[in-house]
Structure formats: C-alpha cells, structure tokens
C-alpha cells in the first residue's frame, strides 16, 4: 500500500491545476520561452482527445468504458478530467524539454528520428509510471477488454494497452504539430 493513498487524489488535483500557473510564471519570469507556453497548451489539447472519452465513457455507457475508479473520486469526475488534461500538457512539455536536453541543436526544426524515439520512449515510460501510481494508490484502473489487453498486472490490477496507445498516438501528433508550429511561433 502506498503512503500517498489518503491524499493521492488531492495531490492529483493540486499538481494538475498548478501546472499552467507554474508554466505561466516561468514564462513571465523569462525562464522559458513563449513557445514553451504554447507547447503546454498543445499538450493539453492533445490530452483532451483521450481524457474526454476515458472520463465520460466511465460514466456514460454509450461510450467505450475504459476507466474505472477503485476508490471514488472525492469530487465531480469532470474536475479530475480537467486536471488530467493539465497534467498531460505538463507531461508533453517535459518531453519537449527532455529532447532539448539530450539532442544537439537545433531541435524540432525538421524530422529527426532521435527526437521522435526519445519522445516515444519517454511517453511510454511515464504512462506506465502514471498507471502504476494510480493502482498503487487504489485510484483508478483500465478495464480489460479484448481490444485493451493487460500488458501486466500490478497490485492485482491490469496495466493495459489502451493508455499506451493513447500516448503513442499523442506523441506522434505532438511531434508533428511542434515541427509545423515551431518555425512560425518559436522565438529565434
């Protein structure tokens, strides 16, 4: 059992809703370029493409039900959906910074397989960490289906394929968008 169990959901919300504030403060303090602010919101928009179906689908059976809470959310699920999309924005921004840290300049100017591989590996690892953290704290798990098989079990709960596919799709879309937008919006 995790030591975060009693406050896991509260930390989830605090971190999610703090992310845009932190990114904005860093931007205003000139610690990060304006393009990083854009990157954050691109990540939020991409995250919405899977957070909406996951959260709404959990409560509306006309959607594919993919997510179920182990412990009920201590608030309306839409608050958590918004928080998780803000988390997604921060996670994409961290991936962007990771590429900047590892790859030689210039980054994201043209297709570079090394940049993409770093983003894909980062996306898959952080997604597994998120899911393991969720089941470790009895927060949520994804339901196993034929189209969403378990990759492995942790704490008796499945860590499934669907969220990994979401992040793979998200990373590919993110990389494409950043390659297209950086020449137009990044500061030289």
Whether this model's pTM surpasses 0.75: yes
| Whole-number Å distance between alpha carbons of 116 and 106 | 14
Q: How does pLDDT run across 3-56, given as a tens digit for each residue?
A: 567 789 999 999 999 999 999 999 999 999 999 999 999 999 999 999 988 887
Q: How does pLDDT run across 49-80, given as a tens digit for each residue?
A: 999 888 876 665 555 556 778 888 888 888 99
Alpha carbon distances (Å) from 134 to 18, 23, 48? 19, 24, 19
How many CB atoms sit inside 10 A of residue 134's CB?
23
**If DSSP codes are grouped into helix, strand and coil, which group holds residue 134?**
helix
In degrees, rounded to 5, the angle at the alpha carbon of residue 103 between the alpha carbons of residues 98 and 108 is 80
Domain positions in the chain are: 5-185
Alpha carbon distances (Å) from 71 to 74, 75, 99, 136, 154? 9, 12, 36, 12, 16
The pair phi, psi for residue 30, each rounded to 5°, is 60, 30
């Amino acid at each position: 059992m995790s030591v975060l169990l009693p406050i896991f959901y509260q930390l989830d919300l605090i971190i999610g809703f703090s992310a845009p504030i932190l990114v904005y403060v860093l931007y205003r303090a000139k610690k990060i370029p304006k393009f990083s602010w854009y990157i954050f919101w691109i990540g939020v928009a991409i995250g919405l493409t899977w957070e909406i179906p996951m959260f709404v689908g959990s409560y509306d059976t006309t959607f594919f039900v993919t997510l179920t809470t182990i412990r009920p959310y201590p608030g309306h699920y839409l608050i958590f959906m918004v928080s998780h999309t803000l988390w997604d924005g921060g996670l994409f921004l961290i991936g962007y910074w990771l590429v900047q840290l590892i790859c030689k300049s210039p980054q994201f100017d043209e297709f570079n397989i090394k940049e993409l591989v770093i983003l894909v590996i980062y996306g898959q690892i952080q997604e597994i960490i998120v899911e393991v953290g969720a089941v470790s704290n009895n927060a949520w798990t994804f339901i196993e289906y034929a189209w969403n098989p378990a990759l492995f079990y942790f704490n008796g709960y499945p860590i499934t394929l669907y969220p990994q596919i979401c992040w793979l799709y998200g990373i590919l879309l993110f990389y494409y968008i950043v390659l297209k937008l950086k020449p137009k919006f990044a500061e030289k």
